[in-house]
Structure 1
């Protein structure tokens, strides 16, 4: 009986202690809730912090520890140099979308101070955001080209304009003569087609497909950093043992290579092949091949087919094209988002028309000329189309005079940027990924055969290139409202052809 009484007293004592603790904690919680949250709001994450961005990175996200007063954040967010953009919100996440791509080769500082949270009055402590500072940069401004003079003739070269000393760097060995190349999406590697120098001298086609590192290292947001390999590391991608390689394209995601090949044993075995990483080439069934271009989503191939252009899937059945454009004889370029394409129509009156075709079915004629439409490139925003066009020159001999124009796709306004001398049709242009400069070459050619140029770099029609200068044309000013502003080209101290910017 005494034992039971002691147990009851112990239990009652424990109950009183527990009730007292619960009551005390309840009072403390009530006091904290009444006084509000005194923690300082902070930036939890910034997606571009210490990263290197490219043209494909058009927005960043800032996540806060607490809901913020949106006006105070938008007012106090500073980016130096300025990057105009638009704000949008999703709870504690701020999304800032750039209006135009960030110029390459630039370091940016982002700061956010004096912003306040959403619920706490700015007169109370803890309402003002803890000051936040971060930095990020864009990719290096770099380009590759093919050398044409001296010991570098036929070699793939690289110039990094963002380096302290932007001197040409040799990427390929002297026994290879490069004819065509495409950079990978991170700019860390280049895929190229090359003939060995002895075959070049003999005039035989022995081209193989190679890959070489550039020494360019990137640290993109939400992706793994590319390997820190030095420039010039060579790798054979596809040999020519059974098939001669005529041309190729590299998908925008860098995962698919499309080649046009012909069998050495059977010339009738001619067609398009696809090549994926760590796999053997596979023929694109039922596609004999013509001019082709991989679509921006890396899922399909636009190619000439009969009297038109076919869009053919790269995987699955190719029996039926995804789309067919019967009026057009070639495709020049896609916009970066894949919603529009620049195509060429060959008219019955022997003129050529440049058309803008979009995914909504709209077809708009931009130019009708008597010469040739050599090339076209969309600017990153998809608002301007830069074109290399030729016009016929009245003379005793047939001559074409090339010129570069910029076409505003919204207004239809055309502005001539630069005109070349007649019969310089071999000029090639390339638009920088940030859309602020054009590279072009001016090759001096001689019909073959010519003494001393047996292993020289050659044009598409097999003329030997004796020398060539590279030029840089700044074009950011053409978006201004002043029609009188005409950019002036700058000659680079480089002898080369086919300049291509790294992505």
Structure 2
């Protein structure tokens, strides 16, 4: 009897231990999910990471055992059983983020996790955006210039122009509509790639008008654009509002361009001047200019660089023209040939002063573009004298005054006489730039997008592509 009771007791004890052990195993906390996971093209550089547990956890035990590489400052928050880490600054572009949670994190009951959890995700690199093809229904693409990977970002009617928001996630584009005009759409580049059912949002319909040339303000709240290539309009992006015309009615205007400080410049062809408009105060000033060509803001936003037209005198002498062309004349009666040239000018917006930047009388200087740090100015040049003239314009680099260098420090970056370069855009790291070029002696050939390092090393990126830009 005693033996039977002892056996029964032992069995009951074993069952109890088994039940307690089973209960403890069931009660042990586990990781139920984590993220983010890498998607094609990489994740936004502001992406938070998260870990979900099966039990309520002790926050301090998690943070002690969690390793994030590269290290970056951020904030930890809890919602129920999910821990979220939100970075205070952006993850480095193109980085692989490694996350490791060691075993031993404690639940609110003091029970530990028993397994280590680790994963990694790719942060989107800095990509180049462009339109392709130049003939037909052009669409917006992104290109990783290091790997060659391309991603189509739009699938719509012909895209006329685009602009990316400062966060690099949202982008806006004008596409042709069925009324002969164009409409404005907003899209999320990550959703557009990851979600096959994603539909961009139509923000504006221009009906029969051709709207194009979108540019986003530095704070991402306002979009400026052209209507019928002759009117400059503003559209608020952060709240529902009607678009407002900024340029004066009856004054053909173009070239909208935001400064780093949030002022908008555009060219008024009626007044032959760049207008600088301050949306915050409503103040507007005029900068006299004859050309109306593409301008560029200096990084500080206090100066505007723009080409202006001048008449220059050459060493070539010319006699009478027309019916008197064959008459003999004395050498003293010959007149020097005059040509229309273009020089880059510096407009100090706040100081109301104008100075000449490129003092080459027999050249056309156009398309200024600053490196991100403001130390270097790229522009295109074509000489006008017989000895140096070429059909196309080449890209030149110039150390910008005010950055510790004199204006005399300039050099050509390209040497392709028959090609016209335009649309210069600097990579955000300032080590290289992209530009569109086309052969002016073979106009049937498609345009090309090329990448140039400061050393002059060049790489052709896209045949038939145009309008390059960098996705921040």
Alignment TM-score, normalising by the size of structure 1: 0.55
The structure 1 residue matched to 2:233, chosen from 250, 273, 296, is 273
The alpha carbon displacement at 1:280 in A equals: 1.5
Alignment of 1:229-378 (within 5 A): 233-241=199-207, 243-261=209-227, 271-277=231-237, 278-284=240-246, 286=248, 288-291=251-254, 292-304=256-268, 306-314=271-279, 317=282, 321=284, 323-327=285-289, 329-330=291-292, 332-349=295-312, 350-358=340-348, 359-361=350-352, 363-369=354-360, 370-378=362-370
Residue by residue over 1:455-499, the C-alpha shift from the partner in whole angstroms, topping out at 9 and shown as x without a partner, is: xxxxxxxx8x75333321122xxxxxxxxxx42102236541121
Superposition deviation, residue 404 in structure 1: 0.9
* Number of residue-to-residue matches in the alignment: 328
Report how far residue 183 of structure 1 moved. 1.4
**Aligned with 1:380: secondary structure?**
coil
The alignment status of 1:187 with 2:168, answered yes or no, reads yes
- Residue 373 of structure 1 deviates from its aligned partner by 3.0
The answer to whether residue 466 in structure 2 is matched with residue 497 in structure 1 is yes
Task: Please state how far the C-alpha of 1:351 moved relative to its aligned partner.
Answer: 1.7
How far, CA to CA, are the matches of 1:329 and 1:467 in structure 2?
Answer: 27
Structure 2 residue runs without a partner (length 5+): 1-43, 47-68, 71-90, 99-120, 313-339
Structure 2 matches for 1:121-270, cutoff 5 A?
140-148=125-133, 154-161=138-145, 166-173=148-155, 175-195=156-176, 205-215=180-190, 233-241=199-207, 243-261=209-227
Residues 493, 257 of structure 1: alpha-carbon distance in 2 compared, 3 angstrom cutoff: closer
8 Å CA contact 1:146, 1:155 repeated in 2: yes
- Give the 3-state SS of the residue equivalent to 2:261 in structure 1: coil
**Partners in 2 of 1:472 and 1:271 — Cα distance?**
33
Map of 1:392-431 to 2, 5 A cutoff?
A: 392=384, 394=386, 400-409=391-400, 410-412=405-407, 413-422=409-418, 424-425=419-420, 427-431=422-426
| Structure 1 residues 232 and 404: alpha-carbon distance in aligned structure 2, compared to 1, 3 A threshold | farther
Q: Structure 2: how far apart are the matches of 1:297 and 1:172?
A: 31
The equivalent of 2:377 in structure 1 is 385
Deviations 1:161-208 (A, max 9, x none): 47xx642111111x5112222111111122222225x88xxxxx5222
**Matched residues in 2 for 1:470 and 1:420: separation?**
14
Does the 8 Å contact 1:380/1:435 carry over to 2? Answer: yes
Aligned-pair Cα RMSD in Å: 4.1
For the Cα contact (< 8 Å) 2:265–2:277, is it kept in 1?
Answer: yes
- For 2:35, the equivalent position in structure 1 comes to none
How much does 1:366 deviate?
A: 2.0
How many Å separate the matches in 2 of 1:444 and 1:233? 38
**Cross-structure match for 1:434:** 429
Is the alpha carbon distance of 1:357 and 1:139 closer, same or farther for their aligned partners in structure 2, counting shifts above 3 Å?
A: farther
Q: After the TM superposition, which residues 88-103 of structure 1 pair with which residues of structure 2 at under 5 Å, given as runs?
A: none
Measure the CA separation in 2 of the matches of 1:357 and 1:149.
35
Does the C-alpha gap of structure 1 residues 379 and 328 become closer, same or farther in structure 2, counting only changes over 3 Å?
farther
Higher RCO (CA-CA < 8 Å; seq separation 6+): 1
CA shift in 2, pair 1:272/1:494, >3 Å: closer
Structure 1: gaps of 5 or more residues: 1-50, 54-78, 81-101, 110-135, 200-204, 218-226, 264-269, 448-462, 476-485
Structure 1's 308 and 207: CA in aligned 2 closer, same or farther, altered over 3 A? same
- In 1, the alpha carbon distance for the partners of 2:288 and 2:187 equals 39
| C-alpha contact 1:335 1:380 (8 A) present in aligned 2 | no
Per-residue displacement from partner, 1:270-297 (whole Å, max 9, x unpaired)? 6332110222212227353412322222
Specify whether residues 327 and 430 from structure 1 end up closer, same or farther in structure 2 by C-alpha distance, changes over 3 A only.
closer
Which of residues 94, 103, 119 in structure 2 aligns to 1:105? 94
Rounded to whole Å, the distance in 1 between the matches of 2:287 and 2:159 is: 34
1:284–1:314 Cα contact (<8 Å) kept: no
Task: Label 1:399 to 1:411 Cα distance change in 2 as closer, same or farther (>3 A).
Answer: closer
